[in-house]
Amino acid sequence: MTIAAITVKTMDGQEKVLSDYTGKVLLIVNVASYCGYTPQYAGLERLYKRYKEAGFLVLGFPSNDFGGQEPGTNSDIAQFCQRNYGVSFDLFDKVHATGSQQHPLYAHLTSKAIPPGEVSWNFEKFLVNKTGAVVARYRSSVGPESSELIAAIEKALV
């Protein structure tokens, strides 16, 4: 099973089916503006710019699930990301990455990733291959420009 049938909302409230990304390698990240890992936005942006021409995309999903570190509106979040980190990759509507109201995308990611299990904090990363299958999972402490993550992205892009 893949993420293709899952629908998400863009920052401006439009529905988007993830099958639109078939053929692309995706890094799906639950993001937050007031977290110790927030500076990872800069690395995510550099990673996106480095590999976007090869078919790589970063998809950011704001979440207020961990420590209330993403309290803003979609507009607040978009402005913060642009102003502070020059974010140009896709950001989506705020979601629940965990808990009883977990978004279907995160229910899928956390059940298919190795290891399976709940998202434990902001900036957890899921690598999805061109066919929509989850191929890797990286905890918050793994930076976007870590050699481990870059090697996995390059392998998925081949």
Instruction: Read off the pLDDT of residues 129-152 as tens digits, 9 standing for 90 and up.
Output: 999 999 999 999 999 999 999 999
Question: Which residues are the active-site residues?
Answer: 35
Collapsing DSSP to helix, strand or coil, 137 comes out as strand
- Cis ω for the linkage preceding 62 (within 30 of 0): no
Determine the pLDDT at residue 72.
95
Collapsing DSSP to helix, strand or coil, 25 comes out as strand
Q: Which residues pair with 59 in a beta bridge?
A: 28, 90
Token match 């481990």: residue? 148
Spatial distance between the Cα atoms of 12 and 23, rounded to a whole number of angstroms: 24
Q: Which CATH number covers residue 100?
A: 3.40.30.10
Spatial distance between the Cα atoms of 120 and 51, rounded to a whole number of angstroms: 27
Q: Is residue 133 part of a domain?
A: yes
Closest CA to 131 of 22, 26, 55, 57: 22
Number of domains within the chain: 1
Q: Is residue 1 part of a domain?
A: no
Q: Is residue 121 part of a domain?
A: yes
Determine the pLDDT at residue 156.
98
Q: Is residue 2 part of a domain?
A: no
Determine the pLDDT at residue 1.
76
Amino acid identity of residue 126, one-letter, is: F
Q: Is residue 73 part of a domain?
A: yes
Could you report the per-residue pLDDT of 113-124, keeping only the tens digit for each? 989 999 999 999
Determine the pLDDT at residue 42.
98
Q: Is residue 12 part of a domain?
A: yes
Spatial distance between the Cα atoms of 11 and 143, rounded to a whole number of angstroms: 25
E strand or H helix at 125, and its extent? Answer: strand 125-128
Domain residues for the domain of 60 are 7-157
Could you report the per-residue pLDDT of 14-49, keeping only the tens digit for each? 999 999 999 999 999 999 999 999 999 999 999 999
